[in-house]
Structure 1
C-alpha cells in the first residue's frame, strides 16, 4: 500500500492523480486545396505553389473516459517528419496524469532532446500539447479561453485567404467584398512581387475598393531586402494600413527594428519562428509592433502562453497566425486587444464553425477547443497509429 499524507499519495499513485492517460492516437491528414496558392515566395522563385496542407492530429484518451483533440500542421514539407517524431515520443504519455501539461511537455522534449527544441521536433509536440489543453478544458466544462481566463468573448478578425497573388486584383476585391459581408472585419493582401510598383498598384486598387474605414493589412512574406523594404514601406504609409507584415527575413530582428523605428505604420512579424526563444529576439530588439506567433509552430499552447506573457510585458499587440480554431481562444485570453487571422481552408476538417459578425470572431460555448473531426478528415487520413487503449489501430 503506498504511503500517503492527508490523503495524498507520496509516491504518485493515489488520490493526487485525477486521471491517467490510457490511449493516444496520432493521424496524418492531407488537406487538398482547391487551387494552387501563390504568395511572393512563389513569384520570386523560392517556392512552388501550395496545393495541400498536411496536418498532425493527436487524440488523447483517459481511464475516466475523457478525450482531447489537438492538431498541428505543415505546409509544403515537414508533415511526415512531424508524424514520425510524435510517433516515437507519444508512448511516454501512457499512465501519466493529463492535467500535468507543463511537465509532460518537458518530458516529451527530453524524450527527443537530440533533435533540439525548435522546428519539426517541437511542432510534433504541439498537437499533443493542444490535445491536453482541450482535455483539461473539457474536464472543467469550459471553453478553453474561459479556462485560461478570457478578457473578451470575441476578437477582431481579418481575412487572408482571399488576398493571395495567384488571383488578379479584381478577384481579390470580389473576395474582400464577400468576406466583409460574412462578418469578418479586416482584409489582408499579399505583396512582395519582383516589381514592387505592381504591389503599389494592387494596394491602391484594394484600398479604393474598400474605402478608408475598412482595416487593411499587407504581407510581403519576407521577400524584401533592407533597402527595398525601407523604400516600399515608406511608399505604403499613405494607405493607412493596420500593419506591414514580414517585410524582411523572419530572422532579421535588427532589420525589422530599424523599420519599426522609421515607420508610423506598425510592423508585424513572427509567424515563421518556431520557438519562444526566437520570438524573444524580436521582443528584445523592438523589432515588431505586432507579434504573430503560431501555437502549432512554437510547440503548442504551453509555449504560446509563455510567449504571451513576454509580449504583454513589452506592451505588444498580438495577431496569431493561421489555425483560428486554436488561436481564437488564446487571443481572447490576451489582455491587449488582439487580432485573429481568418482562414477558411480548414473548414472541411471539422464539424463545427466559428461565428463571425460585425468584424469579430466569437467564442462558442462548447467545452475545450469546441471542434470535432469530420468524416472527411477521417477519409483524408493517410497514416495513423494508436498506443494503449485508444480506439482503432495502426494503418
Structure 2
C-alpha cells in the first residue's frame, strides 16, 4: 500500500471473563488481604488495517478491574482510527494522551497494552514473521518454570505430584508459593519438594509481597539452604530500597517487578539495585513497546529478565532478549486460543507462525460479556 494511505479502519474490543477450574489461593488470601481467585478478566483487541490485514492483542486483570479496563479502552480507542498501524510508538503515545488524566500506570496503561500487542501482531503478520523474529530472536527456545501447580491451596501430597508432572511434561523449573502466616509450613513444603525433585532441579519461591523487612531477611536466610534460583516478591511491590537491602544481604537472588505498571517504576528498581531478576509483565506495563524499554534498561544494568504470566505473548519477547531469560508456564490462558505452546527438555519452544501465532477459540468468544466496535469514516 502506498505510503500515507495505510490506516487503522476498524477496532473491536471484547470483555472476556475466563473462569478458573478451581479457586486459587496464594499468600495474599491466607493473610486475609484477598479472596480466592475464581476468574480472570481479559481485554481482547482486534485491529483491522485498510488492506484487510489484522492483529490480535490482549491484556488482563485479576480479581477486580475488568469492567474499568474495558471502559477505559472503549473511551480511548477512537484515537487510533485513521492512524498508520505501523507507527506503533506514535499510536502508544496517542492512546496515553487520550487518557492522560487517568494516570500513567494501573488500569489506564494496562488498557493500552491490548492495543499495542495487537499492532505488533499485525506488523509481524504482515511481514510473514513470528513476533520473535520480527524483534530479532536470540534463541528458538526459552527455559521455563511452572507456577500454577504450586499455589498454597494445594495440599502437600498434590504439590509433589504437580511438580513431578510438570517435569515430565518438559518444564524445567518449579516455583512454589510461600508467605503463609506460619513460616514453618512454608519451610516444610519447600523442603519436601526439594527432597523429591533433587538438588539439580531449578526451584523458586514467591511470597507475593506478604513479608515485612525483618521477616523477609529471616526467611531468606533459612531458604539459603535450598539453593533457590530466586525469592520472588518478598516485600511490598513498590519497596525498591527494601528489595535492594535483601539483594545485598542474601546469596539467593531477589526477583520482582510483576506488579509494576510503568517504565518509570521499573527504572526505580533498576537504579536502586532492587532486583537480580526483573519480572516485567507486558500487558501490565502497557504492551510490547514499553516492555522493550524496560528490557533494554535491565540489560544495561546486568539484570536477567523473567517476564510474568501470559506465556503466549512473553515467549516471543523472551526469545528476543540478549541475556538468557526465564518464561513462566501458566496454562490458565490456554482456553482462549486454538494454539498450544510446545515444551521440550526444560524449555518452551518459540512458535514460528506469523505474529503471536494465536487465534481466538470458540470458547473465548463464548465467554465474551461485552463488545465495542469502532470504524473509521469512509
Task: Provide TM-score, normalisation by structure 1.
Answer: 0.94
Instruction: Tell me, in whole angstroms, the C-alpha distance in 1 between the residues paired with 2:154 and 2:35.
Output: 15
Instruction: Kindly state the Cα deviation for residue 200 of structure 1 after the two structures are TM-superposed.
Output: 0.5
Deviations 1:136-170 (A, max 9, x none): 00011000010000011110000000000001111
Instruction: Tell me, in whole angstroms, the C-alpha distance in 2 between the residues paired with 1:60 and 1:100.
Output: 14
Deviations 1:177-223 (A, max 9, x none): 11111111000010000001111011000100111111000000000
Alignment counterpart, residue 211 of structure 2, candidates 224, 235, 244: 224
Aligned residue for 1:85?
72
Aligned residue for 1:257?
244
Aligned residue for 2:114?
127
Q: Secondary structure at the match of 1:151?
A: coil
Alignment counterpart, residue 180 of structure 1, candidates 142, 167, 181: 167
Q: Secondary structure at the match of 1:197?
A: helix
Aligned residue for 2:105?
118
Instruction: Tell me, in whole angstroms, the C-alpha distance in 2 between the residues paired with 1:209 and 1:184.
Output: 16
Q: Does 1:313 align with 2:300?
A: yes
Contact 2:82 2:376 (8 Å CA) reproduced: no
Alignment counterpart, residue 226 of structure 2, candidates 235, 239, 242: 239
Aligned residue for 1:16?
3
Q: Secondary structure at the match of 1:351?
A: coil
Aligned residue for 2:355?
368
Task: Provide TM-score, normalisation by structure 2.
Answer: 0.98
Contact 2:131 2:355 (8 Å CA) reproduced: yes
Aligned structure 1 segments of 4 or more residues deviating by more than 3 angstroms: none
What pairs up with 1:354-393 in 2 under 5 angstroms? 354-388=341-375
Instruction: Kindly state the Cα deviation for residue 17 of structure 1 after the two structures are TM-superposed.
Output: 2.5
Alignment counterpart, residue 168 of structure 1, candidates 155, 163, 170: 155
Alignment counterpart, residue 258 of structure 2, candidates 271, 282, 288: 271
Aligned residue for 2:124?
137
Instruction: Kindly state the Cα deviation for residue 364 of structure 1 after the two structures are TM-superposed.
Output: 1.4
Instruction: Kindly state the Cα deviation for residue 15 of structure 1 after the two structures are TM-superposed.
Output: 3.7
Aligned residue for 1:346?
333
Structure with bigger gyration radius: 1
Instruction: Kindly state the Cα deviation for residue 16 of structure 1 after the two structures are TM-superposed.
Output: 2.3
Deviations 1:219-266 (A, max 9, x none): 000000000000000000000100000000011100000000011111
Instruction: Kindly state the Cα deviation for residue 94 of structure 1 after the two structures are TM-superposed.
Output: 1.1
What pairs up with 1:91-110 in 2 under 5 angstroms? 91-110=78-97
Q: How many residue pairs align between the two structures?
A: 377
Q: Does 1:299 align with 2:286?
A: yes
Instruction: Tell me, in whole angstroms, the C-alpha distance in 2 between the residues paired with 1:18 and 1:204.
Output: 62
Instruction: Tell me, in whole angstroms, the C-alpha distance in 1 between the residues paired with 2:31 and 2:53.
Output: 48
Q: Secondary structure at the match of 2:335?
A: helix
Aligned residue for 1:151?
138
Alignment counterpart, residue 61 of structure 1, candidates 4, 27, 48: 48
Aligned residue for 1:10?
none
Instruction: Tell me, in whole angstroms, the C-alpha distance in 1 between the residues paired with 2:313 and 2:6.
Output: 24
| RMSD value, Cα | 1.1
